[in-house]
Amino acid sequence: MSDRPVYPGVVLVTGAASGMGAAHARALGAVGTHVCLGDIADTSELAREIAAAGGSASAHTLDVADRGAWTRVIEEIRADRGELGGLVNNAGISRRLEFMDTPDDIWEKTLRVNLFGPFYGIQAAAPLMRDSGGGSIVNISSISGQIGYFSPAYSASKWGLTGLSKSAAGGLAKWGIRVNSVHPGLVGTALVSGSGAFVESSLRSIPMGRMGAVEEITDAVLHLLSDRSSYTTGSELTVDGGLVSNGLYHRITAETEGSL
Ligand SMILES: NC(=O)c1ccc[n+]([C@@H]2O[C@H](COP(=O)([O-])OP(=O)(O)OC[C@H]3O[C@@H](n4cnc5c(N)ncnc54)[C@H](O)[C@@H]3O)[C@@H](O)[C@H]2O)c1
């Protein structure tokens, strides 16, 4: 193994226009990977920015909930680059709605983007990854896909993605493709904007006492894409400041300090 991590030559990141997806894309560009930027929003400015910083990137219009769009984008990558060594299923949507307040359309849309999207993506990308000698798929789930979360559509979609990752890990190992899920806790992006009270209260359950930085999620994603995780597949990497493992007792001990 070399001194430095080795990354795939070409990686497709979905939801790359903003938030964590853009951070993953910039970091991949900086380590010499060609990044395919997939999003419903325009990513051409980000592609130019990555190129100006010395990297290489291409912009692809991609609605992850549309199977036909996946077929088109993977064909574009096959034609333009001839290979694909990594896929980051990062695109996701969230509406914080309580159980009985969740209407059909939100339930359906959330599952289509957060769960059908990665399923279509894995099916579309896996043959090209196989033909490229194997690779790594990183599915961005959430701690909401590891514990009960009050908003049913988001939680069900992320639990589904956790299971989809494990299923794909088993099914694609024969092609040299590893599949893992990353479970961010609270990270300050547009996804959590407008939820000050929610964030403030959540912080009291985080042993590390702060939100995660986008770069801390990027580090986990790059690790799983690199050769430094060559024996890791079907696993869950939780990046949450200890919230899932210790949040409950952290809050209890803080609230009962001195009277335990
Ligand atoms: N922010 C957090 O605290 C947090 C915590 C846990 C998990 N996550 C997950 O991390 C991922 C990234 O979240 P973020 O906070 O960066 O979100 P964000 O809202 O900042 O960015 C999401 C990106 O996905 C794109 N997108 C939305 N629908 C799409 C579609 N149908 N097809 C293609 N692209 C689409 C948007 O245009 C946007 O660029 C999501 O899967 C989210 O569920 C976020």
pLDDT digits 0-9 by tens, 1-12:
778 999 999 999
Beta carbons within 8 Å of 36's beta carbon, 6+ residues apart: 10, 11, 12, 13, 57, 58, 60, 73, 77, 81, 84
pLDDT digits (tens, 9 = 90+) for 89-139: 999 999 999 999 999 999 999 999 999 999 999 999 999 999 999 999 999
- The DSSP secondary-structure symbol of 31 reads T
Protein fold of 10-191+212-241: Rossmann fold (3.40.50)
Beta carbons within 8 Å of 120's beta carbon, 6+ residues apart: 64, 65, 66, 67, 70
Residue 228 CA, ligand 1 centroid: distance in Å: 26
The mean pLDDT of 72-94, rounded to a whole number, is 98
Angle, CA of 45, 17 and 53, to the nearest 5°: 45
Contact 140, 222 (CB under 8 A): no
What is the reported pLDDT for 178?
99
The residue with tokens 């196989």 is 130
Of 141, 171, 164, the C-alpha closest to 154 is: 141
pLDDT digits (tens, 9 = 90+) for 193-240: 667 788 888 899 999 999 999 999 999 999 999 999 999 999 999 999
* Domain locations in the chain as residue ranges: 10-191+212-241
Question: Cα–Cα distance between 210 and 221 in angstroms, integer?
Answer: 20
Which ligand 1 atom sits closest to the C-alpha of 217?
Answer: 10
Give the active site residue among 7, 120, 149, 154: 154
Q: Is the pTM of this model over 0.95?
A: yes
The answer to whether 249 is a known catalytic residue is: no
What is the reported pLDDT for 188?
85
Residue 238 CA, ligand 1 centroid: distance in Å: 17
The mean pLDDT of 238-258, rounded to a whole number, is 94
DSSP letter string over 68-128?
HHHHHHHHHHHHHTS---EEEE---------GGG--HHHHHHHHIIIIIHHHHHHHHHHHH
Q: Is the CB of 121 under 6 A from ligand 1?
A: no
Of 260, 244, 236, the C-alpha closest to 206 is: 244
3-state secondary structure of 184: strand
Alpha helices in the chain (DSSP H): 19-30, 44-52, 67-80, 104-111, 117-131, 152-172, 196-203, 214-225, 243-255
Q: Is the CB of 260 under 6 A from ligand 1?
A: no
